[in-house]
Amino acid sequence: MTSTTTTKKPSTNLALCVTTDDFEAPAKEVLSEKSWVYVSSSASSGLSLKANLDDWSRINFRPRIMRSVSSINTNRAILGQTSQLPFFVSAMGTLGNAHPGAEPLLARGSTRKGLHMVVSTATSKPLEEIMDAHQEEQNILKNQSPSKLAFQLYVPVDRSKALSLIRRVKAAGYQSLWITVDTSVLGKRTADRYLQAQEALDQGAKERETAAENEFSPAFGGRPVPGYLDPGLSWEDLAWIKQEWSGPIVLKGIQTVEDVKIAVEYGVQGVLLSNHGGRQIHSAPSALMTLLEIRTYYPEALDKLEVFLDGGLRDGADVLKALCLGATAVGVGRPYFYAMAAYGMEGIEKCTDVLAEEVEITMKMLGVSSLDQLRPEMVNTTRLLNDMWRPEIVRPRL
């Protein structure tokens, strides 16, 4: 693979990064144009990404006062495993384009902070090397970190390759399998398309870049690879996957309450409400909107499986909005990509500290000392509910 990482240093001192948004500009400084386009781009005109970012601000808190918050507990159980915080690192592909340390570095940083991390099929490093980095960090910490690694699976057309990959994941010791279900085809990522067209005009080159050391990874920059994504993937495929994988299974990319109902019927342990960071279908619902659909039309799902969501989260306070509405935990993606690209391990740790502090501050101001005290009535969802999908009502003829 032709490296797109850089040793360039950002002009902004890490100390000045006091919100997760502050990592974006320094990352843009140090990343190549191709890497920046890859991580920042979205589908079509960007409506799905915009909804991800905007919908968090359409929910307000209803804080309670005069409740003792002198001691705060931010622990959260995720698929039976304790996490020190109610958020985790989302799956992100080809992290080697952000930093030469890539996924092993992010795994070490997550382990230090007691966070769970979902490792993408599209890794820049072998999945075994990433697990080794996690375990080495655990050894340094004398196994005091509750951090676990999960694996996000893209199912290829060739089932023998899929089985081989699942067996490697199992042998390496990953705790859960997160199956991506929203990529029957890659979305039209506009900025990537412009870049590809310009490259063709400038160079006449048709060479594609792939993630190093990983035959399962898609080509870098939104270029499809034949056989990598299976458009024939169906609910029935869960049967052979379960025969091979006995641990927890989460379906990643669910966007409607109807599919959550089917997921419950098929007995998976969790669903990740997600529109792939706004990078797949144009005009997708935000994960927060889908969570409201579940609360409104199928609230019992929240007792039958664990509900996660990701997309657009930039503030630790918003983690608590999702938890008030019944989510188990929230995934964070781009902020960690930007932080690692600009500042390496220090950026990973600082990004976690920023979000963790915001979670703690907001808990205290909400009047809760532990996450199990969060309730739906602590948030006002009226503005978002006004735009929520409603089933058609068939009225009798008079």
Is 287 a residue whose pLDDT tops 70? Answer: yes
For residues 70-79, b (16+ Cβ closer than 10 Å) or e, as one string?
Answer: eeeebebebb
Q: Say how far apart CA 249 and CA 79 lie, in whole Å.
A: 9
pLDDT in tens, 16-75: 999 999 999 999 999 988 888 888 776 666 777 777 788 999 999 999 999 999 999 999
Q: Establish whether 383 is an annotated binding residue.
A: no
Dist CA 329 CA 371 (whole Å): 11
Give me the pLDDT at residue 225, please. Answer: 64
Domain extents in the chain: 14-385
- Provide the pLDDT for residue 2: 39
Which of 99, 116, 134, 276 is catalytic? The answer is 276
- 210-230 pLDDT, tens digit each: 444 566 655 555 555 656 677
Q: Does domain 14-385 have CATH number 3.20.20.70?
A: yes
Task: Please give the share of the chain, as a percent, with pLDDT higher than 70.
Answer: 86
Each residue's pLDDT tens digit, 96-127: 888 999 999 999 999 999 999 999 999 999 99
Q: Is 109 annotated as a binding residue?
A: no
91 is in an annotated binding site: yes
- Write the pLDDT tens digit of every residue in 228-271: 677 789 999 999 999 999 999 999 999 999 999 999 999 999 99
Q: Is 116 a catalytic residue?
A: no
pLDDT digits (tens, 9 = 90+) for 295-345: 999 999 999 999 999 998 999 999 999 999 999 999 999 999 999 999 999
pLDDT in tens, 199-212: 777 776 544 444 44
Q: pLDDT at position 219, please?
A: 52
From first CA to last CA, the distance across the chain in angstroms is 69
210 touches 137 (CB < 8 A)? no
Residue 54's nearest CA partner among 45, 64, 44, 46 is 46
Distance CA 347, CA 175 (A): 26
Phi-psi region of 164 (alpha: psi -120 to 50; beta: other; left: phi over 0): alpha
d(CA 68, CA 56): 27
d(CA 14, CA 342): 9
- Tokens 């307000």: give the residue: 60
> Is residue 292's pLDDT more than 80?
yes
Average model confidence (pLDDT) for the chain? 89
Q: What is the pLDDT of residue 182?
A: 84
Give the residues across from 70 on adjacent strands: none
> Residue 96 is encoded by which pair of tokens?
């080697």
Residue 15 counted as an annotated binding residue: no
